[in-house]
Amino acid sequence: MKDKELIEKAIEASKRAYAPYSNFQVGAALQLKNGEIIQGCNVENASYGLTNCAERTALFAAIARGEKNFTRLAIYVDRPAFTAPCGACRQVILELAPKVEIILVNNRGETRKTSIKELLPLSFGSEDLES
């Protein structure tokens, strides 16, 4: 599948964001190894700290479906700047999808590809608990 299809899914997901407080609508599209796509959007709450980001919504939905193998994660916001995952989401991506290719997408149709290695260097993860 081409990037374009995954990006379209992230754009579609952003339109479902529940973001009445920030008005910052984020969409995520997570591709499974078998090609399927799981979408996520941010879900806010009047108790602001309970907000769930689009990336975590997609990853948690995937885990709840029993999926474990992810290839690409596209993240879209309707802005000219690229929006990268927040710190909390980076830690969750490290835990659940450390090898995923992260594709940031802006509203000019441009992309920037990155990885959790680049976004979260010198990280603390599950391996650190082993020894």
Which bin fits 69, alpha (ψ -120 to 50), beta or left (φ > 0)? Answer: beta
Enumerate residues 6+ apart whose C-beta is below 8 A from 116: 90, 93, 94, 97, 98, 100, 102, 123
CB of 131 to ligand THU, least distance (A): 32
* Out of 9, 10, 42, 100, the residue judged to bind ligand THU by CB under 6 A: 42
63 vs 86, beta carbon nearer ligand THU:
86
Map tokens 């591709």 to a residue.
31
* Out of 30, 53, 102, 120, the residue judged to bind ligand THU by CB under 6 A: 53
- Is residue 51 close enough to count as binding ligand THU by CB under 6 A? yes
Binding footprint of ligand THU on the chain (CB under 6 A)? 19, 22, 24, 26, 42, 44, 51, 53-55, 83, 85-86, 89
